[in-house]
């Protein structure tokens, strides 16, 4: 039960962490990426009008009409002023822009020629590190990628904004479902692995204990008292055949099991294999072992079997392996 509780807690923790990241971080990044793609897909004139509205309402800038603006040629550069401080706004419309120092220097020079206080560069693309460093020297404010999206997102047309948010939400939910399946699989593997490791531990302990027991198989009976051999006086062996047939061997084993079950301190004797006899005991090993060997030695065909002495009920002790005699 503990292994499955541990697995459940692990799976739940992984799922909650993944959900928090996917919803709070990854979803917003996806929304920004899709939003920039939507902005890049707009006509350049609509994009410029969106920029002018955002700067007017968020920055308090008003467009300044210049003499050359009266022509019908479209322009991506325009002046906007905050009181008496004009700014030259330059729109580089498109995700493919990778703007460096040359474009920044050019905008700074154009701003000075127009009598502006500085420039504002707006693009869905990116400005590289050198361009960012030069921008401060040229009095140019850069609004690219992640800086541009928070400024323009409230002014997107309703259908575009809802489409971007829904797509980002659906993508996040899809990833959260995958995370749930992965977390469940991880918890299942941990639970099964924990149970496998702990179920193999007693087997390994018994395997390592068996050689130690076999090195001195007859010490305990000799110390506790003499074991009656096959021809001991006063007790005749129950079976004289060393190599009996299968039916006779089955009968010997059944008789030995019944005899062990009647011994004081022994609950039962159960044959696990032809050569392995499991004994469930209620008394100390040194107390019951001579009695067990006395019964085993009455059957010449069974003298060499391995006796598995199981732990007493409610007592924390290892399984012991012994033999009454060896070849």
Whether 221 and 157 share a structural domain: no
Report the CATH number at residue 57. Answer: 3.40.1350.10
Q: What is the CA radius of gyration of the chain?
A: 44
Chosen domain end from 126, 149, 166: 166
Identify whether 282 is part of a domain: yes
Whether 33 and 145 share a structural domain: yes
User: Do 172 and 26 contact (CB within 8 A), yes or no?
Assistant: yes
Q: How far apart are CA 252 and CA 268, in angstroms?
A: 16
Residue 147 has pLDDT above 50, yes or no: yes
Chosen domain end from 143, 166, 189: 166
pLDDT in tens, 190-246: 888 877 776 655 544 544 544 444 444 444 444 344 444 444 333 445 555 778 888
pLDDT of residue 227: 42
pLDDT of residue 158: 85
Mean pLDDT of 29-37: 91
Instruction: Report which of residues 222 and 129 the model is more confident about.
Output: 129
Whether 135 and 259 share a structural domain: no
At 161, is the pLDDT very low, low, confident or very high (cuts 50, 70, 90)?
Answer: confident
List Cβ neighbours of 267 (8 Å cut-off, separation of 6 or more).
Answer: 261, 280, 281, 282
**Tokens 């603006």 found at:** 69
pLDDT of residue 315: 86
pLDDT of residue 76: 79
pLDDT in tens, 283-296: 888 998 999 999 99
- Give the rounded percent of residues in the chain with a pLDDT score beyond 90: 38
- Give the rounded percent of residues in the chain with a pLDDT score beyond 70: 83
Whether 224 and 123 share a structural domain: no
Residue 90 has pLDDT above 60, yes or no: yes
Mean pLDDT of 117-141: 91
Identify whether 306 is part of a domain: yes
Residue 142 has pLDDT above 90, yes or no: yes
Chosen domain end from 133, 166, 199: 166
Instruction: Tell me what the pLDDT averaged over the chain comes to.
Output: 83
At 157, is the pLDDT very low, low, confident or very high (cuts 50, 70, 90)?
Answer: confident
User: Do 322 and 303 contact (CB within 8 A), yes or no?
Assistant: no
Whether 235 and 119 share a structural domain: no
Q: How far apart are CA 140 and CA 116, in angstroms?
A: 11
Residue 84 has pLDDT above 80, yes or no: yes
Identify whether 201 is part of a domain: no
Report how many domains make up the chain: 2
Reported as type and span, the H/E element at residue 192 is helix 158-214
List Cβ neighbours of 19 (8 Å cut-off, separation of 6 or more).
Answer: 176, 179
Mean pLDDT of 245-272: 90
Identify whether 156 is part of a domain: yes
Identify whether 53 is part of a domain: yes
pLDDT of residue 191: 81
Q: How far apart are CA 14 and CA 185, in angstroms?
A: 11
Identify whether 276 is part of a domain: yes
pLDDT of residue 4: 81
Identify whether 117 is part of a domain: yes
Instruction: Report which of residues 237 and 56 the model is more confident about.
Output: 56
At 274, is the pLDDT very low, low, confident or very high (cuts 50, 70, 90)?
Answer: confident
Q: How far is CA 122 from the centre of its chain?
A: 42
Look up the domain containing 259 and give its range.
216-323
Identify whether 186 is part of a domain: no
Residue 320 has pLDDT above 70, yes or no: yes
**Tokens 């099964």 found at:** 192
- For residue 113 the two structure tokens come to 């020629």
Mean pLDDT of 126-145: 90
Residue 29 has pLDDT above 80, yes or no: yes
Residue 25 has pLDDT above 90, yes or no: yes
- For residue 197 the two structure tokens come to 């490791």
For 262, half-sphere exposure in the C-beta direction (CA atoms, 13 angstrom radius) is: 7
Instruction: Report which of residues 236 and 149 the model is more confident about.
Output: 149
């Amino acid at each position: 039960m503990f292994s499955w509780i541990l697995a459940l807690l692990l799976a739940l923790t992984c799922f909650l962490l993944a959900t928090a990241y996917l919803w709070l971080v990854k979803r917003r990044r996806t929304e920004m990426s899709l939003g920039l793609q939507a902005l890049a897909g707009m006509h350049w004139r609509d994009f410029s009008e969106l920029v002018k509205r955002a700067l007017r309402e968020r920055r308090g800038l008003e467009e300044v009409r210049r003499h050359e603006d009266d022509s019908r040629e479209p322009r991506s550069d325009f002046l906007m002023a905050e009181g008496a401080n004009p700014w030259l706004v330059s729109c580089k419309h498109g995700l493919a822009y990778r703007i460096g120092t040359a474009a920044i220097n050019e905008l700074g020079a154009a701003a000075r020629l127009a009598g502006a206080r500085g420039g504002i560069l707006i693009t869905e693309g990116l400005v590289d590190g050198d361009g960012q460093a030069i921008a401060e020297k040229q009095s140019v404010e850069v609004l690219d990628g992640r800086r541009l999206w928070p400024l323009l997102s409230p002014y997107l047309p309703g259908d575009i904004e809802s489409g971007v948010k829904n797509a980002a939400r659906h993508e996040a939910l899809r990833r959260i479902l995958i995370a749930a399946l992965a977390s469940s699989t991880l918890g299942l593997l941990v639970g099964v692995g924990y149970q496998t490791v702990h179920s193999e531990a007693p087997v390994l302990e018994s395997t390592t204990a068996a050689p130690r027991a076999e090195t001195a198989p007859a010490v305990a009976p000799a110390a506790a008292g003499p074991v009656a051999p096959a021809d001991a006086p006063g007790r005749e062996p129950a079976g004289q055949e060393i190599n009996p047939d299968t039916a006779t061997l089955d009968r010997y084993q059944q008789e030995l099991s019944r005899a062990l079950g009647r011994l004081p301190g022994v609950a039962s004797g159960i044959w696990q294999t032809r050569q392995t006899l499991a004994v469930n005991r209620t008394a100390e090993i040194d107390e019951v072992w001579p009695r067990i060997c006395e019964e085993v030695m009455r059957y010449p065909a069974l003298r060499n079997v391995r006796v598995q002495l199981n732990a007493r009920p409610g007592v924390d002790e290892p399984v012991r392996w012994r033999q009454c005699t060896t070849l």
